[in-house]
Amino acid sequence: MKSEAAREEALSIADEAQVEQLDSDVEDQIAKLRESLAESGLTFHLTGFPQVEQTLIDKATAKRFKAKPATETEEAVPGGNSHPDYPMALSDAYLARSIEKVVAPNGAELTKKWTPDEVHELRDLPGQEFTRLEQAAISVVYMQYDVDQLVDQDFS
C-alpha cells in the first residue's frame, strides 16, 4: 500500500502554485468578459398602453395577413389572427409600441418610434436576450391592462 503522501502526489495534476496561477488567470478572463459584456449592453425602457390601443394593434396586425386558398401543391393558409405568422407579428407590434427609448452603455439615448419590422430584426440578438425583452414588454402591456381594470372598478 502507498503512503498517504504518495497517494496525494499521484492524484495531483498540478502543484499548488500552478493551480493558483490557473485560478487567477481564469478569474482575470471572467472579469474581462464581464467588462466587455457591460460595455456592449443596451437598456430598453418600456411602457404600457391602454386596451384600446391593444385592440387597434390586434386588428391592424390581423389585417396584414390574407387567407390563401389551397392549391394542388400547397395547403390553405387561414388569414387574419388565424394565420401562422400572426402571433410573432403581434408580439413585434406590441414590443414596437412599448419601447420608449434605448440607452447605450455610454449614456447615449435613442428615442424614436420603433416599427414592428425593426423589432423583428432584434430577434437575432444573442442568447435569450430577445426573449427576455419580449417577456418584459408583454408583462408591461398586461400590467397596464390590470391597472386599467382596477381603476375602472373603483369608478363603477
Write the pLDDT tens digit of every residue in 81-98: 999 999 999 999 999 999
Per-residue pLDDT band for 146 (boundaries 50, 70, 90) equals confident
pTM of structure: 0.67
Per-residue pLDDT at 1: 52
Q: Are 46 and 136 in contact (CB under 8 A)?
A: yes
Distance CA 85, CA 59 (A): 14
Q: Does the pLDDT value for residue 60 go beyond 90?
A: yes
78: left (phi over 0), alpha (psi -120 to 50) or beta: beta
Question: Mean per-residue pLDDT for 112-131?
Answer: 92
109: phi then psi, degrees, rounded to nearest 5 = -110, 140
Summarised one tens digit per residue, pLDDT across range 67-76 is: 999 888 989 9
Distance of CA 83 to the CA centre of its chain: 23
